[in-house]
Amino acid sequence: MLKFENIIARKPCKAMLEGISTGMFSDDKPVYEKAVDQHQEYVETIESLGVKALVLDALEEYPDSCFVEDPAVVMKECAIITNSPRESRNGEKYEIVPAIKKFYADEQIFHIAAPGTMEGGDVMLVEKHFYVGLSDRTNKEGARQFNEIVSKFGYTSSTIPVTEGLHLKDFVIYLENNNMLVSAKMNEVPEFHEFNRFVVPTEELYAINSLNINGTVLVPEGYSKTLEHIKSLGYPVIVVNTDEFKKIDGSLTCLSLRF
């Protein structure tokens, strides 16, 4: 099992009301005050599982900056600063570097460079293999550079087309122990057929993005079928409310970098 000792998170900013949204999960605008409370609960929940949190100040100039998973990909051996193709998000990569440098030496920090693009929401680790989603945010060149970097540390990677929504991990999540949560479309991907897959019902699609922290699975509030399935697999479960972040396509994994 992957063991996490630290997370990096960033407080939501008031500008999050103008965050990017596909409208897939909600047409509503976030309520900032509720988002602040939900974010604090999220951090405290992860800390209760034996993980130390570094919580960064809000960045008003970047509406989506609370989603710290996107400007970097972190692992034990190194950190990779990504390169978003969205102008409103690209500057976040510079803002995350000082936090990354608290944990990684300069020679452990790598960068995805143009014309490569990548956001961390498209990167899913399974044991020592990364599945990289090819999406509107992550392109083939970004995936190629990523593979070149991680291969230095004994990892492998492959690409998966993202044909629905924003990021790969909105539609497939690895829970450890060979278990996956998938959408109906991701269930058809041959690369995932070796796993024990649960096809999340369409009305509970948001619950795919659940998060295993040291053996306990965090599940978004309000998705009883997915919750009961995860319990049936034997995982301890904590329900966390991320409704305000859902309104701008944010979910449990988006809100932290874990290592």
Asked whether residue 123 is domain-assigned, the answer is: yes
Asked whether residue 210 is domain-assigned, the answer is: no
pLDDT tens for the chain, 259 residues: list them.
789 999 999 999 999 988 666 656 667 889 999 999 999 999 999 999 999 999 999 999 999 999 999 999 999 999 999 999 999 899 999 999 999 999 999 999 999 999 999 999 999 999 999 999 999 999 999 999 999 999 999 999 999 999 998 999 999 999 999 999 999 999 999 999 999 999 999 999 999 999 999 999 999 999 999 999 999 999 999 999 999 999 998 999 999 999 9
- Environment class of residue 194 by beta-carbon count within 10 Å: exposed (0-12), middle (13-18) or buried (19+)? exposed
CA–CA gap between residue 136 and residue 86 (Å, rounded) = 9
Which residue range is the domain that position 125 belongs to? 6-164+242-258
Tell me the pTM: 0.96
CA–CA gap between residue 67 and residue 57 (Å, rounded) = 13
CATH number at residue 57: 3.75.10.10
Asked whether residue 217 is domain-assigned, the answer is: no
pLDDT of res. 25: 65
CA–CA gap between residue 107 and residue 257 (Å, rounded) = 19
User: Which residues, other chains included, contact 60 with Cβ-Cβ below 8 Å and sequence gap of 6+?
Assistant: 13, 14, 15
pLDDT of res. 192: 98
Three-state DSSP class for residue 85: coil
Q: Which residue matches tokens 């190194």? A: 78
Asked whether residue 227 is domain-assigned, the answer is: no
Asked whether residue 60 is domain-assigned, the answer is: yes
Asked whether residue 74 is domain-assigned, the answer is: yes
Catalogue the active-site residues.
167, 254
pLDDT of res. 24: 64
The number of beta carbons lying within 10 Å of the beta carbon of residue 185 is 15
pLDDT tens-digit readout, 19-48:
666 656 667 889 999 999 999 999 999 999
Q: State the total domains in the chain.
A: 1
Structure tokens at 38: 């939900």
Q: Give the residue from 107, 101, 151, 156 showing the smallest Cα distance to 132.
A: 156
The number of beta carbons lying within 10 Å of the beta carbon of residue 108 is 17
Q: Give the residue from 123, 127, 155, 126 showing the smallest Cα distance to 142.
A: 123
Asked whether residue 131 is domain-assigned, the answer is: yes
pLDDT of res. 256: 98
Between strands 196-199 and 52-56, the pairing is unpaired
Asked whether residue 80 is domain-assigned, the answer is: yes
